[in-house]
Chains A and B, each alone.
Chain A
């Protein structure tokens, strides 16, 4: 009987030394306790997944690119100010599209989106000294020069939508409304650089030690 216990103990030690402990990093595909061959179609169902693979299509992906000439079923985007940044006469829009309410909420949204998508290169205050500069990013223009101060809001919108020079398009990351929110915040950053004490409301001056 003693031998049986010894053999059992040996098997346990052997199993633990082969299987290891929980949480040890490993690179091979995980073991499946309920494998696919025993329970087909349960855990991995035959359906396309977002950004998943598909054996049906020649390029091997489940997400399909838009066929050429496809027409969107969304409501018609005929508000050229909102979606293109253009005024009625085709010039770049100055100011903000009438479809948007310019308020503190839009500003807060703009600040949040700017911090996520723009600040890495343009810097938190828009001076072009973002963190990426230390890692070899080329010259990023500062917002605080006359050219960009006087640039129409619509042209900035166009730059975010289509990119410019080394900056690629951010249309896939920022919805049109978010792009306008970002522009509003950029305007605030530009305004802040030329601000004086008289711009600060009297009851807030103490917070800044003025």
Chain B
């Protein structure tokens, strides 16, 4: 019988176990890296029906976010602008541009412009824009430097861990109310130190919920 299994076969069970441990490590690393929104969503930059540039409108021209997303301070939803909002300027500026044909068609017929949604939380997450911007959370915290983007690109994972990072420790991320819509502004902590940020939170009684029902219902 000694010929059937070579002597090296004695090590084989151990080698298989070692390999399985290595394999489990590789699979875990892969899943951790690839199976989260940090990989699946960050970088998503769909082709939009109109090549609207935030870098031009919000960055170069300095138009306030609220000019178009006009209900963001009043509503849970930061609305997309009506096509009339586009036509406020584009009934005169580049009014015959073929790139704006979709907007003109929408303005004349009332059909919606088929914008592609970039940032999308699951339906069981009830994110409220108004409550965040009115408490000093700037657009830039979740959306990145939109004012520098030619094409809107998903900048942050917007996963539950991402939300909780800030809900557990909001102090380094809050801004003065006047700075919320200025995406290049510094946070209170950067301007006047963490202590000032903690005071800001205390004065305004800002206590982000960490309970499930704070965001899920």
Q: Which residue in A1, A19, A25, A132 is a CB contact (below 8 Å) of B34? A: A19
A143-172 interface with B by 8 A CB criterion: 166-169, 172
What's the least CB distance linking A62 to chain B, in Å? Answer: 10
Known: A8-B26, A25-B153, A32-B40. 20 other contacts (CB 8 A): A1-B19, A12-B26, A19-B39, A22-B43, A23-B38, A23-B42, A23-B43, A30-B41, A31-B40, A33-B36, A43-B124, A45-B123, A50-B79, A60-B112, A116-B66, A117-B67, A120-B63, A121-B89, A131-B63, A168-B91
A188 at the interface (CB under 8 A from B): no
A95 at the interface (CB under 8 A from B): no
Asked if B111 and A59 sit within 8 Å, CB to CB, the answer is: yes
Asked if B66 and A44 sit within 8 Å, CB to CB, the answer is: no
Supply 19 A–B pairs (Cβ within 8 Å), ascending by A: A5-B19, A8-B23, A12-B26, A22-B33, A23-B43, A24-B43, A25-B44, A27-B44, A43-B124, A44-B123, A61-B112, A115-B64, A120-B63, A120-B67, A131-B63, A132-B89, A132-B93, A136-B94, A172-B82
Cα-based distance from A65 to B111 in the complex (angstroms): 11
B55 at the interface (CB under 8 A from A): no
Measured CB to CB, the residues of A under 8 A from B are 1, 4-5, 8, 12, 15, 19, 22-27, 29-33, 42-45, 47, 50-51, 59-61, 65, 115-117, 120-121, 131-132, 135-138, 166-169, 172-173
Instruction: Tally chain B residues at the interface, Cβ within 8 Å.
Output: 50
Q: Which residue in A4, A30, A168 is a CB contact (below 8 Å) of B88? A: A168
What's the least CB distance linking A39 to chain B, in Å? Answer: 10
Q: Which residue in A23, A27, A51 is a CB contact (below 8 Å) of B80? A: A51
Cα-based distance from A22 to B34 in the complex (angstroms): 8
What's the least CB distance linking B27 to chain A, in Å? Answer: 10
